[in-house]
C-alpha cells in the first residue's frame, strides 16, 4: 500500500491495530474520557512518528515474496563396466554383443534413455540396443543387438538423460569401443603355394591392368591419373617379368609391353644427364614436380628404374629381332645415365637431385644406411660414367659411420639408424641385389636384412605403444599411406599403421613370420585388406582405418620379393649382369653370385 500522510490513513491504521473505530469513551466520565484520550493520544503520537519516518523516505511498493521451489537432487555419472571390467573410457577387442553397465548417483528416468544415449559407428550409422535396469534403476544396462567386427563405435550419453526426479545429468560422457576381429576365415583355405600364386597374380594386375595406356609405365597410385612413377615403374617391369615367368601373361604380351615402356622412356620422357625425374606425365613424358625444387633428375628413382630395366634385358635374351632391339634400347638408356656427373663437381659422394631451374639447391647427398645402396652399385657398374670406390666409402658408407652394432629387442643390428628404420631399407635395393652370402667391408648383408626385419617383428610383438592388433600375426612397419597422410613408419616412428608390403616383402628374410602375417591379412582380415590389385596399402586397427589405396612402390616389392623367396628369379637375372658383377667387385663386395 502507498504511504501518504493524512488523517484517513491514521484512522485506518488505528482501527486496524485495535480492531475498532476511533472514538472517546464519554460513558466513563471525565476519567474515562481522559483515559481514552490518553490511550489514543499515545497511539496517534506513535503513528505520527511512523508517518513522518515513512514520508521522509523514498516512496516504496510492498510486494509479496515468490514461493521457493525445491531444487532437484544431484544427478551424475558414477561408474562404468564393459563386460564386467572397467578400463577407462576406451575398450578394444570387444565382442559383438557386449554388456555395458552405466551407473549413476540416482535412479534414471526410463523415458529419457532413447533420446540421450546413442550408439554409432565411426561413419555415424546408428546401432540398435536394448536398455534394462539394475540397482533400483540407478544402473542402465546397454545391450547392443549386433555390432560389426573390427569396427569403432561411440556410446554417447548426453545431459538430456534425466533422473526419476527430473534432474538432468551433470555432464555428458563418451565411451569408445572397438570390436574384435572375427577369427573365421573370410576366404577358402588353399595351400601355401596356391596362396603365393594368388598374391603374385593379383598384385601383378596393378602393373599390367592398371599400367598407363600410353606409356605402359606404373601410375604412382590408383588415383594418380596420368602421373607415373620412375622408381615404381622399375619395380613394375620386374613384376611383369615375374608374370611372364609364372605364365600369368604370355612372353609375347610381356615383350610388347616392355617395348612400349622402353620406347617411351627413350623417345618421349624428359631426362637430365641421362637421369629421370621422380614423377612424369605418362602421356607426354613431361616432368611432374615432386616438390618445388625437385623438378628435374632424381638419381635414386633412376637407379630403381635401371635395376628393373637391366633385369628385363637379362630375361628377354632371345635371338629374335624384337628381343635384340629391346636389349639395345635398354643399353642406350643405361649407358646414358651420367652417374659420375651427380658427384657435383667431383665430390666423393653422390647427390640425389638436380634441377634445370634450381641446379643443386636441394644439396641432398645420397648417404647410407637407407634404401639407396643400389644407386652406388649401379654407379660403380656403369661402363660409361662409373664412380670410383672412394665415392662409395666416403659418400655411402660415410667412412664406416653407417655401422651400428647395437642390440634392439634382442637382435644385434650391423648397420643403419637406431632400431633399423622402415623395412623398405631392406627391400628396394634388394629386389635385384641378392643379399645371400653378400658381404663387404661393412657387413654381411643377409645378416643385416634379417636383423633389421626381426627387430621390426619383435618390436610389433612387444608393442610398447599398446596399439590395437599388433602381434606375431600382424606386424610390419614401413613407408605407406596413413589416415589423412603418408609416413615412413618404423619402431621410432610408430603411428599404429601396419602395411602388408612390409611383412610380405620380407619373405626372403623371415619366411615363417612373413607367411604367418600374410595368412592373417588374407584369411582373417579378408576383403578389408584384399582387393582388386592384391593387398591394400595399409591399415590401423587402433583407429579402425583401412586404406583403399594402392601404391606402385608398395605393390612392387610384394610380388618381386615373393618370387625371390620362391625361386630367386629376379636376383638371378640382375646378378647375372656382367657390369654389375664387375662394379660390385670394384666396391669390395664378395658373393658366390659374383
How many other C-beta atoms are found inside a 10 Å radius of the C-beta of residue 306?
26
Q: What is the C-alpha R_g of the chain? A: 41
DSSP category for residue 381: H
Task: Find out whether 141 and 134 touch, Cβ atoms under 8 Å.
Answer: yes
Give residue 63's pLDDT: 52
Which residues belong to CATH 2.60.40.1220 in the chain? 77-179
Reported confidence tier of residue 52, pLDDT bands at 50, 70, 90 = very low
Cα-based distances in Å from 185 to 189, 200, 220, 412, 473: 8, 20, 32, 37, 14
Give residue 27's pLDDT: 43
Reported confidence tier of residue 469, pLDDT bands at 50, 70, 90 = very high
Give residue 505's pLDDT: 98
Q: List, in order, residues 6 or more apart from 148 with CB less than 8 Å away.
A: 96, 121, 179
Q: List, in order, residues 6 or more apart from 562 with CB less than 8 Å away.
A: 196, 199, 200, 504, 505, 507
Q: List, in order, residues 6 or more apart from 496 with CB less than 8 Å away.
A: 465, 467, 468, 540, 541, 542, 543
- Which tens digits make up the pLDDT trace of 167-211? 999 999 999 999 999 999 999 999 999 999 999 999 999 999 999
**Interatomic CA distance for residues 133 and 129, integer angstroms:** 13
Q: Phi and psi for 531 in degrees, rounded to 5?
A: -150, -150
Helix or strand run (H / E) with residue 228:
strand 227-229
Distance of CA 41 to the CA centre of its chain: 97
pLDDT, mean of residues 439-447 = 98
> What does pLDDT average to over the chain?
91
Q: How close are the terminal C-alpha atoms of the chain, in Å?
A: 117
CATH 3.40.50.10490 is the classification of domain 77-179 = no
Query: Does residue 219 sit in helix, strand or coil?
Result: strand
DSSP letters spanning 406-473: -EETTEE--BSSGGG--GGGGTSGGGTS--TT-B-SS-BHHHHHHHHHHHHHHHHHH-TT--TT-SSS
Q: How many residues does the chain have?
A: 594
**Residue that the C-alpha cell 554383443 belongs to:** 97
**Interatomic CA distance for residues 510 and 146, integer angstroms:** 39
Reported confidence tier of residue 38, pLDDT bands at 50, 70, 90 = very low
Give residue 123's pLDDT: 92
Give residue 319's pLDDT: 98
Reported confidence tier of residue 385, pLDDT bands at 50, 70, 90 = very high
CB-facing half-sphere around the CA of 123: CA atoms within 13 A: 5
Q: List, in order, residues 6 or more apart from 433 with CB less than 8 Å away.
A: 373, 374, 377, 445, 571, 574, 575
> pTM (2 decimals)?
0.86
HEC assignment per residue over 110-177? HHHHHHHEEEEECCCCECCEEEEEECCCCEEEEEECCCCCCCEEEEEECCCCEECCCCECCCCEEEEE
Is the bond leading into 12 cis (omega within 30 degrees of zero)? no
Which residues belong to CATH 1.50.10.140 in the chain? 192-586
pLDDT over threshold 50, residue 269 = yes
How many other C-beta atoms are found inside a 10 Å radius of the C-beta of residue 307?
28
Query: Does residue 208 sit in helix, strand or coil?
Result: helix
The set of cell numbers assigned to 15 is: 482501527
**Interatomic CA distance for residues 182 and 190, integer angstroms:** 19
The set of cell numbers assigned to 256 is: 610388347
pLDDT, mean of residues 375-396 = 98
Q: Which of 532, 529, 533 is nearest to 498 (CA)?
A: 529
pLDDT over threshold 90, residue 41 = no
For CA atoms 272, 278, 281, 283, give the dihedral sign: positive
pLDDT, mean of residues 492-520 = 98
pLDDT over threshold 50, residue 92 = yes
Q: Which of 377, 240, 374, 263 is nearest to 325 (CA)?
A: 263
pLDDT over threshold 90, residue 338 = yes
Q: 101 pairs with which residues across the strands?
A: 81, 141
- Domain 192-586, CATH number (from 3.10.20.740, 1.10.10.1110, 3.30.465.10, 1.50.10.140): 1.50.10.140
Task: Find out whether 233 and 261 touch, Cβ atoms under 8 Å.
Answer: yes
- Which tens digits make up the pLDDT trace of 521-580? 999 999 999 999 999 999 999 999 999 999 999 999 999 999 999 999 999 999 999 999
The set of cell numbers assigned to 114 is: 532413447
Least confident of 64-78, 418-432, 547-561: 64-78
Reported confidence tier of residue 74, pLDDT bands at 50, 70, 90 = confident
**Interatomic CA distance for residues 572 and 574, integer angstroms:** 6
Burial of 209 (0-12, 13-18, 19+ CB in 10 A): exposed
Distance of CA 137 to the CA centre of its chain: 42
**Interatomic CA distance for residues 565 and 572, integer angstroms:** 12
Amino acid at each position: 500500500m502507498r504511504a501518504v500522510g493524512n488523517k484517513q490513513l491514521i484512522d485506518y491504521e488505528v482501527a486496524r491495530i485495535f480492531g475498532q473505530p476511533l472514538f472517546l469513551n464519554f460513558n466513563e466520565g471525565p476519567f474515562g474520557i481522559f483515559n481514552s484520550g490518553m490511550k489514543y493520544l499515545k497511539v496517534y503520537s506513535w503513528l505520527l512518528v511512523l508517518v513522518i519516518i515513512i514520508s521522509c523516505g523514498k516512496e516504496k511498493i510492498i510486494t509479496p515474496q515468490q514461493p521457493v521451489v525445491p531444487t532437484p537432487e544431484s544427478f551424475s555419472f558414477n561408474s562404468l563396466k564393459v563386460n564386467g571390467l572397467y578400463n577407462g573410457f576406451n575398450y578394444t577387442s570387444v565382442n559383438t554383443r557386449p554388456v555395458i553397465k552405466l551407473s549413476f548417483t540416482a535412479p534414471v528416468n526410463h523415458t529419457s534413455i532413447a533420446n540421450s544415449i546413442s550408439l554409432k559407428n565411426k561413419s555415424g550409422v546408428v546401432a540398435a540396443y536394448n536398455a534394462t535396469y539394475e540397482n533400483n534403476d540407478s544402473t542402465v544396462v546397454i545391450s547392443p543387438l549386433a555390432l560389426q567386427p573390427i569396427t569403432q563405435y561411440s556410446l554417447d550419453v548426453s545431459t538430456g538423460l534425466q533422473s526419476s526426479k527430473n534432474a538432468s545429468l551433470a555432464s555428458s560422457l563418451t565411451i569408445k569401443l572397438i570390436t574384435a576381429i572375427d577369427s573365421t576365415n573370410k576366404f577358402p583355405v588353399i595351400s601355401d603355394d596356391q596362396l603365393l600364386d594368388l598374391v603374385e597374380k593379383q598384385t601383378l594386375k596393378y602393373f599390367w591392368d592398371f599400367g598407363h595406356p600410353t606409356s605402359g609405365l606404373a601410375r604412382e597410385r590408383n588415383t594418380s591419373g596420368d602421373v607415373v612413377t620412375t622408381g615404381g615403374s622399375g619395380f613394375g617391369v620386374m613384376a611383369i617379368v615375374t608374370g611372364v615367368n609364372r605364365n600369368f601373361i604370355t612372353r609375347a604380351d610381356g615383350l610388347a609391353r616392355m617395348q612400349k615402356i622402353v620406347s617411351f622412356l627413350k623417345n618421349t620422357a624428359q631426362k637430365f644427364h641421362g637421369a629421370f625425374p621422380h614423377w612424369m606425365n605418362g602421356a607426354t613424358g613431361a616432368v611432374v614436380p615432386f616438390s618445388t625444387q625437385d623438378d628435374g633428375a632424381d638419381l635414386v628413382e633412376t637407379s630403381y628404374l635401371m635395376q628393373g630395366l637391366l633385369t628385363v634385358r637379362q630375361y628377354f635374351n632371345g635371338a629374335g629381332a624384337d628381343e635384340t632391339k629391346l636389349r639395345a634400347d635398354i643399353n642406350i638408356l643405361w649407358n646414358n645415365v651420367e652417374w659420375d656427373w651427380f658427384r657435383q663437381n667431383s665430390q666423393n659422394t653422390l647427390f640425389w637431385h638436380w634441377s634445370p631451374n634450381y641446379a643443386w639447391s636441394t644439396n641432398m647427398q645420397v648417404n647410407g644406411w637407407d634404401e639407396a645402396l643400389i644407386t652406388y652399385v649401379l654407379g660403380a657398374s656403369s661402363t660409361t660414367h662409373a664412380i670410383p670406390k672412394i665415392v662409395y666409402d666416403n659418400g655411402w658408407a660415410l667412412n664406416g659411420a653407417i655401422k651400428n652394432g647395437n642390440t634392439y629387442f634382442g637382435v644385434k643390428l650391423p648397420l643403419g639408424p637406431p632400431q633399423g628404420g622402415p623395412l623398405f631399407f631392406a627391400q628396394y635395393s634388394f629386389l635385384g641385389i641378392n643379399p645371400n652370402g653378400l658381404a663387404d667391408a661393412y657387413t654381411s648383408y643377409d645378416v643385416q636384412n634379417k636383423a633389421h626385419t626381426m627387430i621390426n617383428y619383435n618390436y610389433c610383438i612387444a608393442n610398447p605403444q599398446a596399439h590395437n592388433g599388433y602381434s606375431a600375426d600382424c606386424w610390419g612397419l614401413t613407408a605407406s599411406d596413413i589416415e589423412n597422410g603418408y609416413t615412413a613408419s618404423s619402431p621410432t616412428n610408430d603411428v599404429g599403421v601396419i602395411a602388408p608390403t612390409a611383412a610380405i616383402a620380407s619373405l626372403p628374410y623371415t619366411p615363417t613370420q612373413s607367411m604367418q602375417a600374410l595368412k592373417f591379412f588374407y584369411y582373417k582380415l579378408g576383403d578389408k585388406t584384399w582387393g582388386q590389385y592384391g593387398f591394400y596399402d595399409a591399415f590401423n586397427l587402433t583407429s579402425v582405418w583401412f586404406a583403399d589405396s594402392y601404391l606402385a612402390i608398395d605393390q612392387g616389392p610384394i610380388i618381386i620379393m615373393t618370387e625371390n623367396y620362391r625361386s630367386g628369379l629376379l636376383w638371378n637375372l640382375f646378378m647375372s649382369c656382367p657390369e654389375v658383377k664387375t662394379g660390385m667387385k670394384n666396391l669390395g663386395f664378395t658373393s658366390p653370385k659374383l
